[in-house]
Amino acid sequence: MDEEKKAVAAVEEGSQDLKRGIAEWQVAFIGLGGVIGSCYFLGVGWDIEVMGPGVFWAFLLVGVIVFGLMISFAELLVNLPRSGSFIAYTNEFLGPTVSTGFGWAFWFNWVCYVPSEAIAVSAALQAITGITSTVAYIAFAVGTMMALTLINCFAVDIFAKIESGLAITKVIIIILFILVGLGIWVGFWGSPQGELTAYNITEGFKGAGVNFAPEISVFDNWFPHGLLIISVMMVVVLVTMQGTEIVGLAAAESKNPDVAVPKACRSVVYRIVALYLAPILLVILIYPTALADDSTPVFAEVARDYGLTPFFYIFCAVVMVAAFSCGNTGFYGTVRAMYGLSTEGLAPKFLSHLSKNQAPRNAVFFTMGFMWLVLITGLVSEVTGALSDLYGSLLCMSGFTGTLAWVGIIASQKRMRTRLKRNGYDPEKVLRAKVPKAMGWIPWFALIAQIICLIMLAFATPVEKAYINNYPGGPENADIAVGDTGGGLVIFIIATSAIIIPMIVYQILNRAGKVGNIVTLHGDEKTFEETFPPINQVEE
């Protein structure tokens, strides 16, 4: 088939290339948009309460995991560009069955999480406007979902402009808190009020005296509730940084991916470390961890209890921006994941058809329908009292299923290097934007650590019970968000089912001859074997 016929066939099949409408600088901010959601502003307070000062080390560990993920992803994206993102890589290197499970789990993750962000926006609007009726709660949530739907029906360049603007806003607010928190710690401003007075916190330089007592051992100061509670709740920390893989999804539509991808992957890691660890460390230094919770943003609580009321409202309002932004990016990433599944033959073919402006419109409508179903079901459950903590449960669900995407990315990168060596190549010589040899252990560490975190969620129930029974403020004051000390196992089972069921369905359809094994490539994309044919074959 000549080039003209190929082009015609591509159009007829609806497999045209996605529009490259995202500028290089926007790629990094889209990645940040997916990361800094309402979970960061609301969920971090709960993390601090449950883990104590040890939450800093938990986030540092996840920072290392993210670094391993991003350098692995950059190596894949630059050397084997794919419009299907990580789903295309898992399909090529781990097989279609595994890729089906990982891809649908990623889709399931965001289909459940995006509606929770709409609910978070509703809660923020209620706090800001003072309108707390049930009608307003539902109207705000539905309105938010409608806005997310409309934005993602437009061309990708419209999405990029909106999302990068929202991401910049969130970054500015976090930097503002760093300045406010640093000033409180040094003693430039802020007077302890309310519950802080019970902790004998004085004005002036705080040092390490707020949460670290000299008569207690270093270990007990950092981990007052033990290490086990941190290990089983690591999935919740992981979910606060999920969305970094969106950089790869956006990179497929950037104007200069060879330059944008490595730069964006590195910059996102640096910014995450600065924007996550610095604020959390400041909170630990100036605010008793026992006072933190997820009812209001911990940053807002700090400002309020130190008498900085204007900043309290600013940090409350940012939850609305963060939730909308993360939901927007999640919607984008979910649709691209479904588009990737379809182009790889792992989902119905009609989902890979593109509109005239080269947007995956069918995948948008398909995903949108399920998101609306989750939102309506969640709202009805909360209003009727059948479900008391939809938001907290979805965080753990998202943390489990979303982490699988990271596992798939790193495993694909490792498999690619193995196949390179099998074909007679030295990865250190032929790969561009490769993982530095001295850092080769980091992706392995990230892969193993994530698997351990996922497994530990299944054992959360007994650890949660021990935490509640021994909580310093009494069992009635202990706060657990995975659901009445039984949610960990339930979430583990549901999330695992979201992976296994699609794999079983794929195997059944494949054996019945209903699924093809053809990998659809786009534009000038090549398979691994075409890009790196065996050396002996090249010589012949």
pLDDT confidence of residue 421 = 92
Who wins on pLDDT, 488 or 89?
89
pLDDT confidence of residue 7 = 36
pLDDT confidence of residue 287 = 92
Q: Is 306 exposed, middle or buried (0-12, 13-18, 19+ CB in 10 A)?
A: buried
Question: Can you read off the two tokens belonging to residue 192?
Answer: 């302890």
Distances (CA, A) of 303 to 155, 186, 192, 472: 40, 15, 10, 25
* pLDDT tops 90 at residue 390: no
Q: What percent of the chain has pLDDT over 70?
A: 71
Q: What is the DSSP letter of 192?
A: -
Question: Can you read off the two tokens belonging to residue 64?
Answer: 């290392």
pLDDT confidence of residue 228 = 83
Average pLDDT over residues 8-26: 45
| Cα 58 from chain centroid (whole Å) | 16
- Residue ranges covered by each domain of the chain: 3-539
- Give the span between the Cα atoms of 314 and 127, in whole angstroms: 12
Q: What is the DSSP letter of 20?
A: -
- Give the span between the Cα atoms of 173 and 150, in whole angstroms: 26
∠ Cα 25 29 35 (to 5°): 155
Q: What is the DSSP letter of 81?
A: -
At residue 22, φ and ψ (nearest 5 deg) are: -110, 125
pLDDT digits (tens, 9 = 90+) for 342-378: 876 778 878 877 767 666 778 888 888 888 888 887 7
* pLDDT tops 80 at residue 48: yes
- Residue 247 three-state SS: helix
The region of weakest confidence among 219-223, 457-461, 500-504 is: 457-461
∠ Cα 174 180 184 (to 5°): 140
For residues 495, 116, 291, 124, the Cα torsion angle rounded to the nearest 10 degrees is: 180
Average pLDDT over residues 176-188: 92
pLDDT confidence of residue 29 = 57
Q: How confident is the model at residue 3 (pLDDT cuts 50, 70, 90)?
A: very low
Distances (CA, A) of 482 to 40, 82, 200, 403, 508: 16, 36, 33, 17, 34
The region of weakest confidence among 95-99, 168-172, 183-187, 311-315 is: 168-172
* pLDDT tops 60 at residue 502: yes
- Give the span between the Cα atoms of 441 and 446, in whole angstroms: 9
pLDDT confidence of residue 373 = 86
- Give the span between the Cα atoms of 369 and 98, in whole angstroms: 25
pLDDT confidence of residue 417 = 93
pLDDT digits (tens, 9 = 90+) for 252-289: 555 566 666 666 666 666 777 777 888 999 999 999 98
Crossing angle of helices 441-457 and 390-422, rounded to 10°: 140
At residue 254, φ and ψ (nearest 5 deg) are: -85, 160
Crossing angle of helices 309-343 and 85-93, rounded to 10°: 40
Q: What is the DSSP letter of 207?
A: T
Q: How many other C-beta atoms can be found within 10 angstroms of the C-beta atom of residue 280?
A: 22
Residues with Cβ within 8 Å of 308's Cβ and at least 6 positions away in sequence, in order, are 180, 184, 189, 190
Query: Is the sign of the CA dihedral 459, 460, 461, 464 positive or negative?
Result: positive
∠ Cα 370 390 363 (to 5°): 15
Q: To the nearest whole number, what is the mean pLDDT of the chain?
A: 76
Question: Can you read off the two tokens belonging to residue 79?
Answer: 């050397």
pLDDT confidence of residue 401 = 81
pLDDT confidence of residue 342 = 80
pLDDT confidence of residue 327 = 72
Average pLDDT over residues 380-387: 68
Q: How confident is the model at residue 482 (pLDDT cuts 50, 70, 90)?
A: very low
Crossing angle of helices 309-343 and 134-151, rounded to 10°: 50
pLDDT confidence of residue 285 = 92
Best CA proximity match to 101, nearest among 264, 369, 337, 262: 337
Superfamily of the domain at 3-539: Amino acid/polyamine transporter I (1.20.1740.10)
pLDDT digits (tens, 9 = 90+) for 296-322: 778 888 998 999 988 888 888 887 777
pLDDT confidence of residue 413 = 93
Q: What percent of the chain has pLDDT over 90?
A: 11
Residues with Cβ within 8 Å of 240's Cβ and at least 6 positions away in sequence, in order, are 35, 37, 39, 40, 43, 44, 47, 59, 62, 276
Average pLDDT over residues 396-406: 79
pLDDT confidence of residue 453 = 85
- Give the span between the Cα atoms of 92 and 271, in whole angstroms: 31
pLDDT confidence of residue 410 = 93
- Give the span between the Cα atoms of 260 and 24, in whole angstroms: 5
Who wins on pLDDT, 239 or 420?
420
pLDDT digits (tens, 9 = 90+) for 78-126: 888 876 567 788 888 998 888 888 888 888 888 877 887 777 777 777 7
pLDDT digits (tens, 9 = 90+) for 132-154: 788 888 888 888 888 877 776 66
| 482 within 8 A of 464, measured Cβ to Cβ | yes
- Give the span between the Cα atoms of 483 and 392, in whole angstroms: 8
β-pair partners for 193: none
- Give the span between the Cα atoms of 170 and 243, in whole angstroms: 15
Who wins on pLDDT, 329 or 300?
300
| 111 within 8 A of 337, measured Cβ to Cβ | no
The region of weakest confidence among 189-198, 249-258, 501-510 is: 249-258
pLDDT digits (tens, 9 = 90+) for 49-85: 888 899 999 998 988 898 888 888 888 888 888 765 6
Best CA proximity match to 279, nearest among 194, 166, 199, 171: 171
